[in-house]
Amino acid sequence: MAINLDTGDLMAVKEIRFQDVTSFESLQRSIKDEMAVLRILHHPHIIEYYGVEVHREKAFIFMEYCPHSISSLLEHGRIEDLNVIKLYAKQMLEGLEYLHSKGIEHRDVKPGNILIGQEGSIKFVDFGASKFYKAQKTVLVNGQMNTLGNFFLYTHIFIYLFLFPTLFIVKQK
């Protein structure tokens, strides 16, 4: 964590150490790829990127500070409030839709990579595995033609609703 001297706001600092010289080029390319993605993203449900500093054996990536993650919430038990579940699901889908509209597939969506900002909204983070699609493709989903971005969105919905239903327990009143 750090303080932005211009604004006084808290910032998150991701530290990356260059320990193995043989993997330096690969690591450098990976960092550049992640920075290329973060630089073009500006959305309420995507972590805000502030910059990077590279020193001899370390790189520091400066980003918006978020105090919690979905993963840390789930350590205390399941999310049982239906209104919170609806809000988080809506925000996750809005964030994914934005990414896909920019031609970006996150490729590592999991509770640890979904943070909760200081105002309580969902923020996607960790774009190290993300990829740009080279071209928009059209696929048939449920009898309708959709762009590849919408196909990925439907895929994420399927994964969360059908493969991880136990993440959220809804109590009927």
146 and 153 in contact (C-beta within 8 Å)? no
Tell me the CA distances in angstroms from 69 to 43, 76, 127, 156, one per residue in order. Answer: 18, 12, 15, 18
**Structure tokens given for 105:** 């597939």
Tell me the CA distances in angstroms from 18 to 56, 90, 126, one per residue in order. Answer: 8, 38, 18
Q: Among this protein's residues, is 33 annotated catalytic?
A: no
Q: Which of 6, 20, 33, 108 is catalytic?
A: 108
Q: Which residues are within 8 A (CB) of 90 and not within 5 positions of it... i.e. 6 or more apart?
A: none
Catalytic site residues?
108
